[in-house]
Amino acid sequence: GAGVSQSPSNKVTEKGKDVELRCDPISGHTALYWYRQSLGQGLEFLIYFQGNSAPDKSGLPSDRFSAERTGGSVSTLTIQRTQQEDSAVYLCASSLGGQPYGYTFGSGTRLTVV
Amino acid sequence: QQQVKQSPQSLIVQKGGISIINCAYENTAFDYFPWYQQFPGKGPALLIAIRPDVSEKKEGRFTISFNKSAKQFSLHIMDSQPGDSATYFCAAISGNTPLVFGKGTRLSVIA
């Protein structure tokens, strides 16, 4: 597609359950980023994939969070044993590798943990 | 530690007025400073960006002013319109590291 696609757009889950969030980047974009947007907190970096390099996981808030990127394309962010503080909008972006400009964001997945 | 500090948190401007949003940074390695615009229910979209070798960049009604010595940059929206009502984020980047964002400014332009 022409843009970054994220699914689901909304997810309500019970505390303690695991969730998977999906991101389909723009075709040909080698860099993929996950950010978390909480109310009043801006965009918090989570993890970054660049080509075949080891991902930069420095932003992951706890070991309950993990992400993978298969075949250099689709990425899945997994949150295990969800907590209420995990409620936020999770945004995915992609860009041409090595280019700081041209981050294209998806519309995000709004996660609500009840 | 917040690497990019953005102010104000919210801003109300009359239609036709000038909206000004300010950002400050500490990391002198930052070499690219974009601004993103976000409408409700959408992801942020690149609005305008500047490199530290220029002091000003203008695109239509949007202008970035950059003060390298003060480590500050600002977004000016001239002739603000209700359609400009959105959340604006400043950001900074160094090399291939991920973008670092400010906390955002919610702009409301009222008629």
- Indicate whether A8 pLDDT > 80: yes
pLDDT higher than threshold 90 for residue A100: no
CB contact under 8 A, B96 and A103: no
Closest residue by Cα to residue B49 from A33, A42, A37, A102: A102
Amino acid at A58: S
B43 touching A, CB under 8 A? yes
How much is the pLDDT for A99? 60
Rounded mean pLDDT, B60-85 = 97
So what's the pLDDT on residue A39? 82
Average pLDDT over chain B, rounded to an integer:
95
Kindly report the length of chain A: 114
SS3 state at B83: helix
Phi, psi of B61 (to 5 degrees): -85, -5
Q: Provide the pLDDT for residue A101.
A: 66
Residue contact B96–A98, C-beta within 8 A: yes
Which residue of A42, A59, A101 is in closest CB contact with B104? A42
- Cα(A42)–Cα(A57) distance, integer angstroms: 19
Whether the upstream peptide bond of residue B34 has omega within 30° of 0, thus cis, is no
Which chain A residue shows the shortest CA-CA distance from B87? A42
* Neighbour tally for B28: CB within 10 Å: 10
pLDDT tens, position by position, A48-99: 999 888 999 999 999 999 999 988 799 999 999 999 999 999 999 999 866 6
Per-residue confidence (pLDDT) for residue A59, from 0 to 100: 95
Q: Which two tokens stand for residue A111?
A: 């996660």
As to burial, measured by CB atoms within 10 angstroms (0-12 exposed, 13-18 middle, 19+ buried), residue B76 is middle
Q: Does A5 touch chain B (CB under 8 A)?
A: no
Nearest by CB to B99, which of A41, A50, A103? Answer: A103
Maximal C-alpha separation, chain B: 42
The arithmetic mean of pLDDT across residues B41-58, rounded, is 95
Residue range A24-41: mean pLDDT, rounded:
91
